[in-house]
Structure 1
């Protein structure tokens, strides 16, 4: 992992490691100053100036962690000063330790390793006149140790960064799951209330209107005079108008509680409306069989499953085409969503702990099971994905009149 300079400085433990390197550098500089004792005064003065320049360049590089150009310039100056020091002060070869870590710190990628190799070669060649095995192995082993420590730190920091990202993803996934469950609970409760309103309040108001209409007919068929009929008929008309107004309110409540797309259009039209908001793949929708009105809870379940499947195609599949097929059979309705995306391994996804991606598939499968249906996913890496859900429909449910929720109370039975 190529960690930039600023990122390097902010990693866990980087501050302690930096302080340790600073202490090591100070100790090495003091040792070099000790090496100047007993040599010619002019050479010693030049050596002190060079060591001071080395310390200044090192300090500037350490302090200027947010200015990369100045860091690189300081490293270049430091390297040049060290090369000049080597012939007049052999003990300065040990400063290569500080130079190694500084290279890897400022250039924490392949360039840093190449710089370390170059500094190692310079340290070995500086002892060419009296080169020994120790003179070669010392810088070489030091370089390998420094590179090993550097790579170990990068690996630890990379693992910590990935773990942090995973924790953030888990938190986001948990929040998404909680929001999805909350939304599903709200939608289920809204549908339950809509069913209750339809089966009780709306049906009762329709029955009241029908009974009042029958009562009016019976009064009109009696031998009573028009004056005697007038008051009862007026009150019945008022009662019928009141029931009609309340029935209209009940229909509005039912329309508001069912899924928004279904409240304005057929199931096929609802899928077209959903497809208009899908970004990425080209979505085509096809209906097979005789389209008919299904129970509201069945249509809502199919719509929500379709929305989830199309959302997965848009977000995760990387597909260019997606085909949606809605099939009406005699005893079931089937929804197929097929894409030409990258695909995935369903078995591997099924083995993941809950919350680690693809939670939408489990939600769709549960929604299908609540309607007595089943959901099947077929996919393989590089071969696209096919999702199929089938929901059984009883004979009584298939006979439901079209737009039944919009037509409650609009037709009355004449008795």
Structure 2
């Protein structure tokens, strides 16, 4: 997953370091041919880098790799003309980590580090081991930190997709399967009812496809794009209650509440075989709460159930991400109550 804040920080850092290096060049050197060429290369590098950032999505993978090669080439020329431009190495190394495999990143890091070492030595009036050891240490730490951030981002994205698949695709397919099974049972005795089940299954498939497209693009739930939260909760097919005076909630909180309600209602129908499900949305002074109660079979929370339990864990994770808490009360034969509380 792309970490937008980190990308922007690195882009900003690159331009600041580029500007600082150019300022040092103008202040400390005469305006001779070498300086003019270096400044022209600085402008070219800034334009190429900025253009790549603005056109990132349009470039595609091959275009980005070609862009990176041009950026690194312009930078290496700059370091040769004015060693102070070596400061830009860290944001450039981050870009390499974004675009290249680990092996190619190590190769690029070697080139960048050697260029920095040569620049450091040329700027110093005497040689000492720190001129070599420090750039190597900085490069190694940078690679490890950024690589771990990248791995964490991948794991976070996998967790997000697994939750969305469970809460949308899996539940949607279960609903469609139940509808088609009902249609199959009614096909001989009541063809019109069977066709109604099939039409409902087709509508559910379309809604499921819309949800899949939205969560792949990391958009909010489709029902919230069409209606307010209360109306989306009413559309779950359970008995709905609204308590308190409504006030605006941010998009993320609304999405979490809807997903929790969808998961709890689906569990009540699929696993608990509940005859009655009640969804209550309450607006309080300092929090919003969502309670889902069913009169189904219930379960023993102390007993682990193989293949089950992911839905509840996903609900807890969702609520925790917005600073809330989720509690579950259930016992065999006594139904289940799921309560989410989110401070506002």
Bin for the TM-score computed over the shorter chain? 0.3 to 0.5
Q: Which has the higher contact order (CA 8 A, sep 6+)?
A: 1
What TM-score does the superposition give when structure 1 sets the normalisation length?
0.40
Structure (1 or 2) with the larger CA radius of gyration:
1
What TM-score does the superposition give when structure 2 sets the normalisation length?
0.47
